[in-house]
Amino acid sequence: MLARLAGRSAQDVMTYMTIPSTISGGPSIFQVRIGSGEVLSAGDEADFLVAFHQHSYEDHIHFLREGGVLLYDSDNVQPDPNKKQFVHVGVPITGLTIEALGGSAKDKGKNIFVLGLLARIFHLDTDKFKKLISERFSGKSGDVANTALMAFQAGFAYPVGNVLSRLYRFEPGMESATEKAQVTMDGNQALAYGLIAAGVRHGAGYPITPWSSVMEILRSELPKYGGLFVQAEDELGAVSLALGFSYGGHLAVTGSAGPGISLKSEAIGWASMAEIPLIVVNVQRGGPSTGLPTNVEQSDLYQAIFGGHGDSPRAVLAAATVEDCFYVALEAARIARKFSTPVIILSDSSLATRIEAFDEPDLKTLMQDPKADLAPRAQGFRPYALEHITSHAPPGTPMRDGKYPVVTGLEHDEMGHPTGSPKLHAAMTAKRRRKLQLLAEEIPVPQVHGDPEGEALLVGWGSTFGPIHEAVTRARERGESLSALHLRHLHPLPNGLNDIFDRFKRVIVIEMNDEGLYGYGQLATILRARYCNPKIRSLTKTDGLTFRVREILEGVLK
């Protein structure tokens, strides 16, 4: 709610949520970073820590910067009195909440009470807050909304005093000329709504963290648009159902996290061979195997690009921010349709659960028409013509010459008949590969952030966008020559990267995966293989946490 308030106040916001993978719950952390102007990462250190329980105090006090404020529930938390570098503010949150609400609510509402406290401390817009609370609980009975408002009022009324050692004041967001409205959501929501805008009306999936909420949203939303999302019996069934939808003429989506993508990989190979369009979302988590199901990692890049059997081209994109999750879905659908190919979208658990506010997309210009093309096909239709990109005739399409196509995972001739011809296998393999080469030509060359030449270029992909850009901005303020390049299209790579690399003394690829046997992370290895450029170095980490700006600067400038 704090995030949504900031979004509505034209303040930039970024959150980071950590939920343990235990069913019974356990400590959840929710970070919110708010700023006037652009907020790029969730921040390295906290200015303000709210602790409801002793264990959360003990686990997280080290995140608080020196001089930071600890707001704690004095009914449950005993802070270490020797830690004099912090400002300690004890409020009997539990007691006061019970007192304020009385009755059966017990201490439910503590978090809303704290929101009231925070609103007071940070001079936040209480009217907007109250409206948000009413909206948030509008589905429930009036009592619940009233109780929540009472908790908020009680918190707001508590005489907490001026506890801030620094003055925080959020400038009302620049009321920009365009006055673009902001929408606030997490990465999985942005992805799901991006798919809907892209005209994707069908899909299938199987539950797995952190992908599940994408399928939950699509399952509820798609019927409104006349579409359907099916929960399948397993990952293999999910990708096969999705391919059934796509074969039927409706570009479909399936998704998972790394382990589930492994299960889908045979069918993705079929999509490459049969040239059926398909969107596959991988919300990455720490691996391999069950790995770190609720932590972040970017270790599925190889899987996305090379995870198939045989020469099985597929396009691979990665979302940079929550906002980009929306737009990357549109780009994936565009590529899948135009090139009749599987497209893999890489997101990760930090984007999936992070809430950001961003400019409302212009849906009028973005919405895609999902209609299947069942117009009769003329005489001489060849499903796999060698000289142009495959465009299928879905079932239901009348074929004027009476010859009906079979799409197939066997190597085939132009009509789809199986063939063992060595010449045809070579020609068809090249045809499938050429699609991605054509795609590479139309991808825009990414813009360098910072000077177009200099000492070092930081190359990133996926959710490291924020911390890398913030690191560059900070370093440049200190006079360091640092620039950044972010790759959204990972396979095929855009043309022109080598020219960019040539203008820097060092190129450092920053990614959340292992440095591998030879000292380079996954993208770094691919870039070195592609450009044979020894300048390309690697900065990696595998602690299951997002990059801190400080880690990047220390790693790069050492």
Partner 1 sequence: MNAVAVVEEREKLTKKALTADHPTWCPGCGDFAVLAAFYKVLEKRQLPHESIVTLAGIGCSSRFPYFVNTHGAHFIHGRAVPLASGVSLSRPDLHVFLFGGDGDGFSIGGNHLEHGARKNIRLTYVIMDNFVYGLTKKQTSPTSPIGYRSKTDPTGAIDQPVNPIKKLVAAGATFVARTHATQINHMMQMIERAMDHDGFSVVEVLSECVEFFPGAFDAGNPRKGGTFTVIDERKWDNSPEDEARHDVTDEMAAYRLASVPFPGLFGVFFEVDRPTKNALEGKWIAEAQAKFGGASDLEILQKTFDRLK
Residues that bind partner 1 (CB under 8 A): 7-8, 181-185, 189, 193, 196-197, 202, 204, 221, 223-228, 230, 232-234, 236-238, 240-250, 252, 266-267, 269-270, 274, 360-361, 363-364, 367, 370, 393-399, 402-410, 417-418
CA-nearest of 210, 304, 315, 301 to 256 is 210
Specify the residue, 70 or 145, whose C-beta has the smaller distance to partner 1.
145
Extract the tokens encoding 192: 């799901």
In contact, 204 and 254? CB cutoff 8 Å: yes
| Cβ neighbours of 476 (radius 10 Å) | 16
CB of 369 to partner 1, least distance (A): 8
CA distance 480 to 553: 10
Tokens of 265: 């990989």
Least distance (Å) between residue 67 CB and partner 1: 35
The residue among 75 and 413 lying less far from partner 1, judged by its C-beta, is 413
Q: Tell me the closest approach of the beta carbon of residue 135 to partner 1, in angstroms.
A: 8
Nearer to partner 1, 188 or 284 (CB): 188
CA quadruple 41, 47, 48, 51: dihedral sign? positive
> Minimum CB separation from partner 1 for residue 275, in Å?
12
CB nearer partner 1, residue 190 or residue 319? 190
The least CB distance from residue 5 to partner 1, in Å, is 12
Query: CB of residue 336 vs partner 1: minimum separation in angstroms?
Result: 16
Matching residue, tokens 């090139």 = 339
The first and second tokens of residue 530, run together, are 């592609």
The residue among 68 and 361 lying less far from partner 1, judged by its C-beta, is 361
Q: In the bound complex, what is the minimum distance in angstroms from residue 368's beta carbon to partner 1? A: 9
- The DSSP code sequence of 411-471 is -B-TTS-B---HHHHHHHHHHHHHHHHHHHHHSPPPPEES-SSEEEEEEEEGGGHHHHHHH
Which residue number, 3 or 524, has a Cβ lying nearer to partner 1?
A: 3
Closest CA relative to residue 490, chosen from 306, 310, 341, 333: 306
Burial 180-191 (b: 16+ CB within 10 A, else e): eebbbbbbbbbb
Specify the residue, 401 or 499, whose C-beta has the smaller distance to partner 1.
Answer: 401
- In the complex, what is the shortest distance from the CB of residue 347 to partner 1, in angstroms, rounded to a whole number? 18
Toward partner 1, which CB reaches closer, 138 or 437?
A: 138
CA pair distance 56, 495, nearest whole angstrom: 48
* 102 vs 233: CA distance, rounded Å: 46
